[in-house]
Amino acid sequence: MATGELNPNHYQAQRAAKVVQHYLNTRYGSPYRLLGLHRVYSGNAEDVEDSGRKYQLEISVQEIISNMTEKCSAEVLFPRGGQQRSPQVQASCEELLKINTTAQEEALYQQYKMKPSLFSAQNVPDSYGHIDPDTKPFWHLCIVASSFIMLNESSENTLFNVAQVANITQLATENDQLKFDCHVLLHEMVSQEIIHWKLLFIWSPPEGVKVQQMEQLPHCHHCEKPPNTN
Amino acid sequence: MMRGFWLLTLLLAASHAERLFIRDQVIRINAESEEQIKLLQALETREELELDFWLSPVSMELPVDIRVPSSSLSSVSEILSANNIAYSVLINDLQECLDEEKFEMTENHIKERSGRSFNFGAYHRLETIYSWMDTLVSEYSTLVTKLEIGRSYENRPMYVLKFSKGGNKPAIWIDTGIHSREWVSQATGVWTANKIATDYSSDASLLDNMDIYMLILANPDGYDYTHNNVHRMWRKTRSVNPGSRCRGVDPNRNWDAGFGGPGSSRNPCSDSYHGPSAHSEIEVKNVVNFIKSHGNFKSFISVHAYSQLLMYPYGYSCKNAAHQAELDAIGTAAVKKLTSLHGTRYKVGSICNINLSSQRRQHRLIIPTASETWLALKHIMEYVRDHPY
């Protein structure tokens, strides 16, 4: 891996920038706010002794629903060492927070908080790329929750995207938080692997998304590990 | 008693030509020492246990997955615990798992519309695409011919459409669908073949100087597999890898250029497995043979999905290719034309530098994607026509 000034279009800076996207979604993502990496303007990498490699990036991110873009500065530290530690990110992109989604979020929250029948959807998008409009906010939620995984799993040698939500099922509301079980297919670009993860997460407008449990699954995506495996 | 029951089940199953795996478990072991690996390898030889290794014990880096028939569960559990080998249960009852999968497959089966006009805005099964090719050939018989360049691993024909005004001119190669899950690639191939036929039957200029060859389904087995099962994400060929439970080779890592180098995997279970040797995959060999025997191809374009990237060699090395500046200029101009249609931005660069730096957009529809791609393709083809070498 190179250090110093990086070509912003080449993979090194791009991968680091993608990590920033995942980080921002964990912080700001919601059923009506989802961020995508838009452009990388500049990138710089330096080795930090005993720590790892630190990237300084000038990027822009785009909120995919409103299409608003914002320029941000970010720093990503990929830790060195044998342990699989996740990258650390610092980024300020606060303009995007000003996109007002409160009303929609509140409406969604109220609608599903007390529903007698719980929301459930499979194969989002389907094999043909379609997503039901009613399903979209839940698709967004699962992507936000998956961003915690993608952030954790990222390194200088990976690039993660969500390929598909195999299943999202609403569970009973817990402490005023909507609760979901989500089976997500992540695509890792370098290895081209499709990796299955299962997540349990909660959400409410004031609290945002919080992941309670996450678990990587084997290839057979109907197969569930029974609880209490050794 | 258990054995008797199992044998009876097996007989019944045989009569239905279907195996039953009732209460079989699939377990996963992450070996923590060489001794454990050796022990697992020894376990493989114990035929009376009838263990089915989905992932064989090879090294400590890879998990070992074993289907344990229900009759052997207690023995295996004892052996593993006696040797302090931890395992987790991936599948608690394999038969339940398979029953579910089959149900979903039936549910997912798409009935093709039979109609007079072909819907270019929809994804089609292999058979439909193949019969559409025949209608294209019969409709534009002076321009288009269909050639079989060989068969796939599962014996499906591989068809190349030749667009020509006669003779054997210097040629352009276009392939789509080498990675079966990238459906918009095959769909773009279909749309593009139709576009070439319709456009160039009136406007002669390109085909006066060049022939175009299109391989729309470069990986027919893989494509069929993504339709017939819940394996929509299948990418590779469907060849059997001896000694491994995992099938398939990434055909786009199977070329004889930097074979086995960075960006490919030697693990048969990997989605970027390069295969035992270059051109081991019949699908790849067919293309190589065809191109070599033709002998006069001037340009090669391979269409994939996703990542708005227009890339030129090389992938296995970051060193500049010969005429890198020219390649970059062509690419940049082609992408400008692409962008002019719907504003979609592409990046241009060598595979090594910009691959794996995806600018992933939301789902795009087939026709807008194919239409904008066409502008870039046309630019490239016209450049090749105007700069003979």
Show residues of chain A in contact with B61, CB under 8 Å: none
Show residues of chain B in contact with A161, CB under 8 Å: 358, 360
pLDDT score of B363? 63
pLDDT score of B15? 42
Point out the residue among A11, A125, A129 whose CB comes nearest to the CB of B356: A11
Could you report the per-residue pLDDT of B201-255, keeping only the tens digit for each?
A: 777 689 999 999 999 999 999 999 999 657 899 999 999 999 999 999 999 999 9
* Residue A85 predicted with pLDDT over 90: no
Q: Are B353 and B171 in contact (CB under 8 A)?
A: no
B274 min Cα distance to partner chain A (Å): 12
* Residue A228 predicted with pLDDT over 60: no
Burial (0-12, 13-18, 19+ Cβ within 10 Å), A213: exposed
Q: What is the ipTM of this complex?
A: 0.83
Provide the whole-model pTM. Answer: 0.75
Q: Are B222 and B179 in contact (CB under 8 A)?
A: yes
Pairing of strands A88-92, A69-79: antiparallel
pLDDT score of B46? 86
pLDDT band at A225 (very low <50, low <70, confident <90, very high): very low
pLDDT score of B359? 59
What residues of A are in the B interface, CB distance below 8 Å?
Answer: 7, 9-11, 14-15, 36-37, 64, 125, 127-131, 159, 161, 163-164, 185, 189-194, 218, 220-226, 229-230
pLDDT band at A226 (very low <50, low <70, confident <90, very high): very low
Could you report the per-residue pLDDT of A177-195, keeping only the tens digit for each?
A: 999 999 999 999 999 999 9
Distance CA B282, CA B154 (A): 10
B82 min Cα distance to partner chain A (Å): 15
pLDDT score of B302? 95
Give chain B's residues under pLDDT 70.
1-19, 98-116, 204, 228-229, 356-363
More confident residue, A139 or B317: A139
Contact criterion met (CB < 8 Å) for B100 and A222: yes
Distance CA B176, CA B185 (A): 5
More confident residue, A212 or B34: A212
CA distances from B175 to A138, B148, B213, B300 (A): 37, 14, 8, 8
A15 min Cα distance to partner chain B (Å): 6
B232 min Cα distance to partner chain A (Å): 7
Contact criterion met (CB < 8 Å) for B91 and A223: yes
pLDDT score of B107? 44
pLDDT score of B110? 40
pLDDT score of B56? 78
pLDDT band at A146 (very low <50, low <70, confident <90, very high): very high
pLDDT score of B134? 96
For B102, name the nearest residue in chain A, comparing CA atoms only. Answer: A222
Q: Are B233 and A163 in contact (CB under 8 A)?
A: yes
Question: What percent of chain B has pLDDT above 70?
Answer: 87
pLDDT band at A227 (very low <50, low <70, confident <90, very high): very low
Map residue A91 onto helix, strand or coil: strand
What residues of B are in the A interface, CB distance below 8 Å?
Answer: 26, 28, 65, 86-92, 97, 100-101, 104, 108, 122-123, 183, 226, 230, 232-233, 235, 250, 263, 265, 270-272, 307, 347, 349, 353-360, 362-365
A176 min Cα distance to partner chain B (Å): 32
Show residues of chain A in contact with B272, CB under 8 Å: 191-192
- Mean pLDDT over A67-78 rounds to 94
pLDDT score of B100? 66
A14 min Cα distance to partner chain B (Å): 5
Q: Are A201 and A185 in contact (CB under 8 A)?
A: no
- Mean pLDDT over A96-125 rounds to 89
Strand ranges inside B209-335, DSSP E: 211-215, 297-303, 309-312
For A222, name the nearest residue in chain B, comparing CA atoms only. Answer: B97
Q: Which of B244, B264, B357 to mutate to test the interface with A (most CBs of A within 10 A)?
A: B357
pLDDT band at A219 (very low <50, low <70, confident <90, very high): low
Burial (0-12, 13-18, 19+ Cβ within 10 Å), B142: exposed
Could you report the per-residue pLDDT of B288-335, keeping only the tens digit for each?
A: 999 999 999 999 999 998 778 888 998 888 889 999 999 999 999 999
